[in-house]
Amino acid sequence: MLRVRCQANATLDAKGRLALPAPIRRALGEHGVDSLVLTFHKGAVWGWTAGDFEEHVERPLLARDPFDTDVMDFTHAILSPAQDVEIDSAGRVRVPPPLRDLAGLDKEVVVSSVLNRIEIWDKDTWESRFRTSVDRTDGRSGMPGSVTR
């Protein structure tokens, strides 16, 4: 995303609009970003700036065989539900109904800025996912795939 670190509880309104947390709004505004690309992945709605989506999702696929089954699966699962959404003057995005349905988003959500993207999780799903991640990393040292000395 824009290298901002943030996690916040938020609420979707009846129209599916989400007020982005202030640190994320501020970072987007500083870079003149007025829209995001949202899609569904592994239980959450993921969002990127258009430039980051192109760089980290679309461009790498161009180098791959479009007829490869794994590439087609990824394309269908990630690219087909992707939608461009505008950030309104109040710093809100409307999460499209198909993406809300896929992620089980109703009202209470958690918004996290993670590396180059944001993630929007149903609050209960996030709490379960977070607990699972903490349990899996307990006792490990270092980054995944790194060699410890």
The architecture CATH gives domain 6-137 = 3-Layer(aba) Sandwich (3.40)
Q: Is the pLDDT score of 34 beyond 90?
A: yes
Q: How far is CA 66 from CA 26, 51, 83, 139, in A?
A: 38, 22, 21, 40
pLDDT of 102 reads 97
Q: Is the pLDDT score of 38 beyond 90?
A: yes
pTM of the full predicted structure?
0.90
Q: What is the pLDDT of residues 72-130, one digit of tens each?
A: 999 999 999 999 999 999 999 999 999 999 999 999 999 999 888 999 999 999 999 99
Which amino acid is located at 75 in the chain? T
Q: What's the whole-number mean pLDDT along residues 8-29? A: 95
Mean pLDDT of the chain: 92
pLDDT of 24 reads 94
pLDDT of 72 reads 94
